[in-house]
Amino acid sequence: MTTRRTFTLAAIGTALAAAFSVSGAVVAFVLGPLRRRAPQEPVLLDVGPASAFEALRAGASGPEEILVERAVEDGYMTRRVKERFAIVRDGRAASGLAALATTCSHLGCGVSWDQGRNAFLCPCHGGVYGPDGAVLAGPPPKPLTCLPLVVSGGRLQLDASALDA
């Protein structure tokens, strides 16, 4: 039997269902960036001739900053962005070198090499990293992200597949 009460309940239920459907679609859209793509095959970025870093490998000079360009999925488009890395010595790697991302692990400011203090310094909250990227002082919770460098055909290549993109 139709009563005022059942009508009210039905009306509220229908309105809620409609509202939830619309909000569901909107929320799914807003949460879109949470979906991560499966890790792809190694992304190798060319850094330059391996011979250019001979002095660094031999320990005769400090870290060298380089810019590499890579494609990044950015919202509605794929952009080519430049990123700054510091090439440092790494005895464990076959190439003798590794690349440190110059992004502070604390809040993402750009760190730069300070020859005088023999450390990477962050200008934001005072993070300090050693030449191997390990935290020496300040708030950073993790060392600088370290990416492997491989030598192939005389060229030094940066394996950027570990980078979030």
Cβ neighbour number for residue 101 with a 10 Å cutoff? 20
How far apart are alpha carbons 144 and 135 in whole angstroms? Answer: 8
How far apart are alpha carbons 120 and 135 in whole angstroms? Answer: 9
- Torsions phi, psi of 15, nearest 5? -60, -45
Residues found in the chain:
165
| 54 forms part of the interface with another protein (CB under 8 A) | no
Subset of 21-50 contacting another protein (CB under 8 A) = 30-31, 33-34
Nearer to another protein, 83 or 90 (CB): 83
Subset of 93-132 contacting another protein (CB under 8 A) = 102, 106-112, 123-126
* Residue of 28, 41, 116, 141 that binds another protein (CB under 8 A): 141
How far apart are alpha carbons 72 and 104 in whole angstroms? Answer: 19
| 162 forms part of the interface with another protein (CB under 8 A) | no
Give the interface with another protein as residue ranges (CB under 8 A). Answer: 30-31, 33-34, 65, 67, 72-77, 79, 81-84, 102, 106-112, 123-126, 135, 138-141, 164-165
